[in-house]
Structure 1
Amino acid sequence: MPRPSKPLISREAAVAASIEIIDSEGLDAFSLPKLAKHLGVRAPSLYHHFADKNEILTEVARHIAGRSVATPRRKPGPDWPEYFVALALNFRQSILRHRNAAPILLQYLPRDLFVSTYEDRAKFLLDSGVPTELHVRILDGMEVLAIGAVLTEAMRKPSTKSTIFPNVDPQSQPLLAQALASNELTQKQLFEETVRSFLHGIIRDYM
């Protein structure tokens, strides 16, 4: 389809509107005609900025998993795991802010969208004295852990400490019910401690 000679909207406005639609109506409801209507333009206007729907969804992924994720203000050093813990928490916050868009990340992985960012994180590890042979294990593991945990959380209703495992019957699952009663951590705190344990575990196993 030919692109119009003069843009009627900005690329940024189209991405923001896409996120609004997905947030309010769900990912399955998103379409180019709906986006055009939301922006008050005709669908061909979108082709001035995007080749197709996939390119728009790529930019949505770039926003929720990249641009809106704050980079921790920490310098390289022996406490380097806390940089990645903070980064994971910021990632979680951004994704949960847009729960309906979370499944997009299964198709548009951060490692495919932000290669230069991963280069920066590898340098952070190197400057922190982390052996190079551990870098891929850390960077790959962090993405797999964060996406798996956060997408699982995003696809469920927000939970309390006692409903992290829903539908538990104290009569038929007494041990799990007892574990839930003993748990003092929120979903966020559980995620934080899981990430921290993963990072410290890599170093402990290496030593």
Structure 2
Amino acid sequence: MESLMARPDKPLVSRSAAVLAAVEIIGAEGLDAFTMPRLADEFGIRVPSLYHHFRDRDDVLLAVVRYVAGTAVATSEVVPGPDWPDFFVALAMNFRRSFMSHTNTAPLLLRYRPRDLLPGGYEAAAAFLKWSEVPVALHIRILDGMETLLIGAVLCEDLNPAIAADNSFHSCAVEPGSALASALKACDLSADAMFEGKVRAFLLGVTQMVGSS
């Protein structure tokens, strides 16, 4: 019913300010607490004022995930060539860092996939692979796999902060002297290093698929 209410002649708040406020509300109070009335209250305005910029709550959430994912795309100094995996590692680290610093936004990736929000970024990534002379048959495998890996990683860490600890297996009941206990003792990587290792392992695995069906 709110969307049918008359809008004021001039917007009382900017779109960018509303998106940033939505990010703050979601971070502090959670996704379920975020509503159009709650956002309007943040600015001391009525809900119809928000309809200058957004159709409804879903439209605001779309803008939020586009903002968080977009801020993760940073210019990399890596140039096309044999070190092309470093380019994707940098993007992956930025993506993870952005969603981890914007609490409670990761679940939005289940509804709004980056490929649908930032098509220009995927075109740039495909062009980078082409200029790096990575076989074109691998491009979609890399782009699709990277997205799946990133969404899974940030969802796990966002929904269960314990997973973001230096060694997430420490929360498990591990028998002393077991193989898992030995493996944990031998692993001294930080959460960032573990994540980077996953990305590099994936990229290495894909590149070894040259010529496979």
TM range (shorter): over 0.9
1:49-68 → structure 2 map (5 Å cutoff): 49-68=53-72
1:46-195 → structure 2 map (5 Å cutoff): 46-158=50-162, 159-162=164-167, 164-171=168-175, 174-195=178-199
Residues in 2 aligned to 1:47 and 1:122: alpha-carbon distance in whole angstroms: 36
Residues in 2 aligned to 1:170 and 1:194: alpha-carbon distance in whole angstroms: 23
Deviations, residues 36-65 of structure 1 (Å, cap 9, x unaligned)? 001121111001111111110000000111
Give the match's secondary structure for 2:161.
coil
State the 1:147 CA deviation. Answer: 0.9
State the 1:91 CA deviation. Answer: 0.4
Deviations, residues 110-160 of structure 1 (Å, cap 9, x unaligned)? 011111211111000000001111100000000001111121112112543
Aligned partner letter, 1:199: L
State the 1:169 CA deviation. Answer: 2.4
State the 1:33 CA deviation. Answer: 0.4
Give the match's secondary structure for 1:180.
helix
**1:4 touches 1:47 (CA, 8 Å); kept in 2?**
no
Residues in 2 aligned to 1:135 and 1:58: alpha-carbon distance in whole angstroms: 27
Give the match's secondary structure for 1:150.
helix
RMSD over equivalenced CA pairs, Å: 1.6
**2:129 touches 2:139 (CA, 8 Å); kept in 1?**
yes
Residues in 2 aligned to 1:81 and 1:194: alpha-carbon distance in whole angstroms: 12
State the 1:34 CA deviation. Answer: 0.5
Residues in 1 aligned to 2:67 and 2:156: alpha-carbon distance in whole angstroms: 20
Residues in 1 aligned to 2:200 and 2:156: alpha-carbon distance in whole angstroms: 19
Structure 1 spans left out of the alignment, 5+ residues: none
Residues in 2 aligned to 1:171 and 1:74: alpha-carbon distance in whole angstroms: 44
State the 1:66 CA deviation. Answer: 1.3
State the 1:90 CA deviation. Answer: 0.4
* TM-score normalized by the length of structure 1: 0.93
**1:70 touches 1:87 (CA, 8 Å); kept in 2?**
yes
- Percent of pairs with identical residues: 50
Residues in 2 aligned to 1:83 and 1:201: alpha-carbon distance in whole angstroms: 16
Structure 2 spans left out of the alignment, 5+ residues: none
State the 1:202 CA deviation. Answer: 1.2
Give the match's secondary structure for 1:169.
coil
State the 1:179 CA deviation. Answer: 1.7
**2:72 touches 2:91 (CA, 8 Å); kept in 1?**
no
Residues in 1 aligned to 2:84 and 2:58: alpha-carbon distance in whole angstroms: 36
Size of the aligned set, in residue pairs, is 206
State the 1:166 CA deviation. Answer: 4.4
Give the match's secondary structure for 2:32.
helix
* TM-score normalized by the length of structure 2: 0.91
